[in-house]
Amino acid sequence: MIEFKTNPFDSGHIKNYILLYVSIVVIMVLFFIAGELFMEQTTIEKKVFDYNQSAAQSTTALDQQEETKEEFKPKFKLLEKAF
């Protein structure tokens, strides 16, 4: 019968536990290295924004926005204060 109350340090089982732990760590490291080697490198292109736009273009866009606001008339008149 197996004695369950034995000390693993005295019986020599600790060597098996350490070998199991080390083998699991080695397997994890090998999978990590294999995953890094076979992973494809993807590059992301940076977008460059043009900040030097002419002032004429921006004013026409603002004028168009103001015209659309003036044309819109709501069906309901809202109160000036909320109660």
Distances 60 to 47, 57, 68 between C-alpha atoms, Å: 26, 5, 13
The H or E element containing residue 14 is helix 13-37
Q: Rounded distance, CA 4 to CA 1, Å?
A: 9
Length in residues, the chain: 83
Model-level pTM? 0.41
**SS3 readout for 57-77:** HHHHHHHHHHHHHHHCCCCCC
Predicted pLDDT at 22: 97
The tens digit of pLDDT for each residue in 39-82 reads 777 888 888 877 776 655 555 666 666 666 566 677 778 788 87
